[in-house]
Amino acid sequence: MSGKRFGVQYSPVGAAQSGTGPKPVPPSNKFRGQAATSVDIRGLLLFVLPTPLLLGVFSAIGGGEPIRLIMLLAAYGALMLGAWLVREGQKAHAAYDARDIARPPAFPRKLCAAGLAAIGVALASWLSQGFGGILETTGQMLTALIFGAVAAVAQVLAFGIDPMKSKGLDDAVSAAELERVTDALDKAEAKLKSFEDYAHKLRDR
């Protein structure tokens, strides 16, 4: 004689079989409540566009041109550092826009990135023209400076500039008061983020 488990509607087994009991809680979604991170294709292209300079580096190594090698590395480094500063500037700008009370970033990342773009493009333009005599070199340098200035202006037009003033408080509020308010907001946001991270790990509503 085979045994059969007894269960009615209000018993644990019966409730589970009839579907009237508590249903299992699905695992929480760790991405719920998280803001989507926007990906700027233009910002990513800034990391790709300087790649041809690396080919020039290998050519300078093979040709035994130390001065050209150093200048190519300087141009590549300036452009890559500028690309990284643009990305960091975009993050800081997004955090500034997301708050009702905020102070401007302490370091103008986007403007510094535009300056680095001017340096990198000017060096690359000068190297692409070769090294001539004094008069020819002067003309080449002038052309390189023009290209660098155009690159800086184009980058500012494409990505904008950093926030330059505080927002959300009256002008009569002192800088010390604004500093205390923004520091309190930073600590509160960090605490909330730690709570959210811990709640996602619990996997229990």
Query: 56 CB contacts (<8 Å, ≥6 apart)?
Result: 68, 72, 127
Q: Which token pair is 194?
A: 């730690």
User: Pick from 148, 42, 129: which is nearest to 89 by CA?
Assistant: 42
Mean pLDDT by groups of 10 residues along the chain of 205 residues: 51 50 50 53 89 85 82 93 94 86 85 96 86 64 92 94 79 61 74 75 70
Q: What is the pTM of this model?
A: 0.66
Which pLDDT does position 178 carry in this prediction?
63
What confidence score (pLDDT) does residue 167 get?
78
Q: Which residues pair with 167 in a beta bridge?
A: 102
